[in-house]
Amino acid sequence: MRTKTLLIAAVLGAAGLASASAQVTSVNAVGYVNKDLAAGLNLVSNPLSNGGNAIGDVIPTAPSGSVVFAWNGAGYDSSQFVVIPGVLSGWQPADLSLPVGDGFFIQSAEATTITFVGEVLQGDDSNKDVPAGLSIQGSTVPVSGTMTDHGFPAGSGDVVFSWNGAGFDSAEYVVIPGVLEGWQPADPTLGVADAVFVDKAEGGAWDRNFSIN
């Protein structure tokens, strides 16, 4: 694992936590996703579009003291859920944006379930660009599968880091012409509302062109 990625966990003070699970229900193009969080750090993504996808719209409520860390390309922007009875209950600051398919850490003060509500993106809206270098990526649609199932634009030297609750498991896309092409040691899984760190050698278009019809 690359040193700069090891530092990601150290900066956030990663602690052990249990596996998360998700339940998805949708009617037509609108639905909701229930995502179980463990106490401590969870690496998740927003699977549904809700208005401008401000943090308060995406995650209306959370245990008091919970913190979201969103990767900005060089470090983290953060927002904390503050509860002062009779005075305030909400994210501070409230202007943090959590676009569909963008991953983020949420450090939950306790085990809980958060519910994402919104529209399932389709067509061009379900497509996005993956930049070169480090980013946190999730699926723009609420389906589970491997990175290959999701149509991730993998290239030689790309590395995916999957959060295991205490650190990262890594997989590299290896290309040896005429011999081997694929993820080693295994094709990473990306579940509903899950996210992974990606260290991409070259930027690429992640085209889903998703349709529920």
Residue-wise pLDDT for 17-42, tens only, equals 223 345 554 445 788 999 999 999 99
- Cα(141)–Cα(159) distance, integer angstroms: 22
Q: Identify the pLDDT of residue 103.
A: 97
Question: Looking at the domain assignment, is residue 195 inside a domain?
Answer: yes
Task: Give the tens place of pLDDT for each residue, 94-130.
Answer: 999 999 999 999 999 999 999 999 999 999 999 999 9
Question: Looking at the domain assignment, is residue 105 inside a domain?
Answer: yes
Q: Identify the pLDDT of residue 22.
A: 58
- Cα(128)–Cα(119) distance, integer angstroms: 16
CATH (domain of 95): 2.60.120
Question: Looking at the domain assignment, is residue 213 inside a domain?
Answer: no
Contacts of residue 8, defined as CB under 8 A and 6 or more positions apart, other chains included, come to 168, 197
Task: Give the tens place of pLDDT for each residue, 145-195.
Answer: 999 999 999 999 999 999 998 899 999 999 999 999 999 999 999 999 999
Q: Identify the pLDDT of residue 154.
A: 98
Type of residue at 97: S
114 and 50, same domain (yes or no): yes
Q: Identify the pLDDT of residue 141.
A: 95
Residue 7 has pLDDT above 90, yes or no: no
Of 103, 119, 135, the residue that ends a domain is 119
Q: Identify the pLDDT of residue 88.
A: 86
Considering its fold, how many domains does the chain have in total?
A: 2
198 and 169, same domain (yes or no): yes
Q: Which residues pair with 2 in a beta bridge?
A: none
148 and 186, same domain (yes or no): yes
10 and 97, same domain (yes or no): yes
DSSP line for 102-165: BEEEEEESSSEEEEEEEEPP-BGGG-EEE-SEEEEE--SSS--EETTTTT----TT-EEEEE-S
Q: Which residues pair with 170 in a beta bridge?
A: 161
- Cα(53)–Cα(100) distance, integer angstroms: 8
- Cα(113)–Cα(93) distance, integer angstroms: 22
92 and 134, same domain (yes or no): no
Question: Looking at the domain assignment, is residue 179 inside a domain?
Answer: yes
Mean pLDDT of the 77-89 span: 94
Q: What is the pTM of this model?
A: 0.84
Question: Looking at the domain assignment, is residue 39 inside a domain?
Answer: yes
Of 119, 139, 167, the residue that ends a domain is 119
Using an 8 Å Cβ cutoff, are 5 and 29 in contact?
no
Of 119, 149, 171, the residue that ends a domain is 119
Q: Report residue 5's pLDDT band, with 50, 70 and 90 as the boundaries.
A: very low
184 and 200, same domain (yes or no): yes
139 and 89, same domain (yes or no): no
96 and 156, same domain (yes or no): no
- Cα(124)–Cα(108) distance, integer angstroms: 33
Question: Looking at the domain assignment, is residue 212 inside a domain?
Answer: no
53 and 136, same domain (yes or no): no
Structural domain boundaries enclosing 146: 124-206
28 and 100, same domain (yes or no): yes
138 and 101, same domain (yes or no): no
Q: Identify the pLDDT of residue 23.
A: 53
Tell me the three state secondary structure of residue 12.
Answer: helix
Question: Looking at the domain assignment, is residue 211 inside a domain?
Answer: no
| Closest CA relative to residue 189, chosen from 208, 167, 163, 166 | 163
Question: Looking at the domain assignment, is residue 34 inside a domain?
Answer: yes
Q: Identify the pLDDT of residue 56.
A: 97
21 and 114, same domain (yes or no): yes
